[in-house]
C-alpha cells in the first residue's frame, strides 16, 4: 500500500510539473509571436491668452505637425475641424509646408488645451528611434551661445497677427507648450522605448511672424523593470 501511495505521489508531482511547464511555455509562445502595438499622442497647450487680443476678427496660432519615419502620424481628417473650447483646428499651407492652425473668432480669447491621439496601431517590420520622430517643418537654427547643440531639432510656431495686452498692468506672457509622444510596444515582444519630443516658447507681445521652437528629446522604457517611469533626456550626438 505504501508503495502504491508513493507511486501515486510521484505521478501527481510529475503531472503538476507538466501542467506548470505547459502553461508557462504557452504564455511565452503567445507573447513572443503576437504582434506588438504602439500609439501616438500630440498635445498643444497655450496659456494666458485671456490677457490679450488681436487686431482681427479671426485669431490663428500655427503649430508644427508630428511625423514618424517621415510620414504624418495623423490622417488629415483626424486633425481637421476638431474643436477645443473656443478654438478649432485647421490644416493650412504655409511657405514652410503643411502646418496646423488653431483658430478662434472674436476677441474673447481663452487658453488652449488640444490633444490628438491615434488608435493602437500594429507594429510592422519598421522600427524607430528618437531621430525618426520629428515636428515639421524642421528648420536650421544658428547656434545661440552654444545652446542649440542641446536640442534634438528646431521647428517653428507662426503668429500671423500681433497679440496686444488688454490690461494696463503687465500681463503674463503667452506660452506655447508642445508635446509629441510615441508609446512603444505594450503587448507583444517588440520592446520599443517610449519617445517624446517637447518644446516651450514665449510669444512676445506685439509680435507677428515665425518663432523658432527648440525641440528636446526624451525616452523611457515601455515596461519599466525597475519601476522607474521617469523620462530621460536624450542629448544629440556630437558632430
**So what's the pLDDT on residue 24?**
44
DSSP letters of 89-152?
EEEEEETTEEEEEEEEESS----EEEEEE---EE--S----GGGEEEESP-----STT-GGG-S
Strand partners, 165: 52
On the 0-12 / 13-18 / 19+ scale of CB atoms within 10 A, 76 is exposed
Separation CA 213–CA 208 (nearest Å): 15
> Tens-of-pLDDT digits for all 239 residues of the chain?
555 555 556 566 665 566 555 444 444 343 444 456 788 999 999 999 999 988 878 899 999 999 998 999 999 999 999 999 999 999 999 999 999 999 997 778 999 999 999 988 877 667 788 899 999 999 986 555 444 556 789 999 999 999 999 886 788 999 999 999 998 876 655 577 889 999 999 999 899 999 999 999 999 876 655 556 788 888 765 44
| Cα-Cα-Cα-Cα dihedral sign, residues 137, 138, 143, 145 | positive
**So what's the pLDDT on residue 234?**
87
**So what's the pLDDT on residue 145?**
47
The C-alpha cell at 129 is 528611434
On the 0-12 / 13-18 / 19+ scale of CB atoms within 10 A, 111 is middle
**So what's the pLDDT on residue 238?**
43
Angle (nearest 5°) at CA 61 between 58 and 65: 135
**So what's the pLDDT on residue 232?**
87
**So what's the pLDDT on residue 239?**
40
**So what's the pLDDT on residue 226?**
56
**So what's the pLDDT on residue 198?**
96
CA distances from 45 to 87, 165, 175 (A): 12, 19, 8
Q: Which residue has the cell 521652437?
A: 213
**So what's the pLDDT on residue 58?**
86
Separation CA 212–CA 214 (nearest Å): 7
Predicted model pTM: 0.79
**So what's the pLDDT on residue 158?**
96
The C-alpha cell at 155 is 521647428
Amino acid at each position: 500500500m505504501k508503495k502504491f501511495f508513493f507511486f501515486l505521489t510521484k505521478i501527481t508531482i510529475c503531472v503538476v510539473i507538466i501542467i506548470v511547464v505547459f502553461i508557462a511555455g504557452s504564455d511565452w509562445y503567445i507573447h513572443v509571436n503576437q504582434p506588438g502595438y504602439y500609439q501616438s499622442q500630440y498635445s498643444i497647450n497655450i496659456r494666458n491668452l485671456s490677457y490679450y487680443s488681436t487686431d482681427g476678427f479671426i485669431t490663428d496660432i500655427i503649430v508644427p505637425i508630428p511625423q514618424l519615419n517621415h510620414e504624418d502620424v495623423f490622417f488629415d481628417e483626424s486633425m481637421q475641424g476638431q474643436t477645443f473650447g473656443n478654438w478649432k483646428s485647421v490644416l493650412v499651407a504655409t511657405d514652410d509646408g503643411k502646418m496646423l492652425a488653431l483658430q478662434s473668432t472674436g476677441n474673447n480669447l481663452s487658453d488652449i488645451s488640444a490633444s490628438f491621439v491615434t488608435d493602437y496601431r500594429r507594429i510592422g517590420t519598421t522600427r524607430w528611434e528618437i531621430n525618426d520622430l520629428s515636428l515639421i517643418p524642421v528648420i536650421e537654427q544658428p547656434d545661440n551661445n552654444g545652446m542649440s547643440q542641446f536640442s534634438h531639432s528646431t521647428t517653428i510656431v507662426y503668429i500671423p497677427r500681433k497679440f496686444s495686452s488688454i490690461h494696463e498692468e503687465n500681463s503674463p506672457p503667452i506660452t506655447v507648450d508642445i508635446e509629441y509622444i510615441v508609446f512603444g510596444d505594450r503587448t507583444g515582444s517588440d520592446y520599443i522605448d517610449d519617445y517624446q519630443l517637447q518644446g516651450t516658447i514665449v510669444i512676445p507681445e506685439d509680435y507677428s511672424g515665425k518663432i523658432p521652437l527648440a525641440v528636446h528629446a526624451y525616452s523611457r522604457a515601455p515596461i519599466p523593470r525597475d519601476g522607474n517611469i521617469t523620462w530621460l533626456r536624450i542629448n544629440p550626438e556630437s558632430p
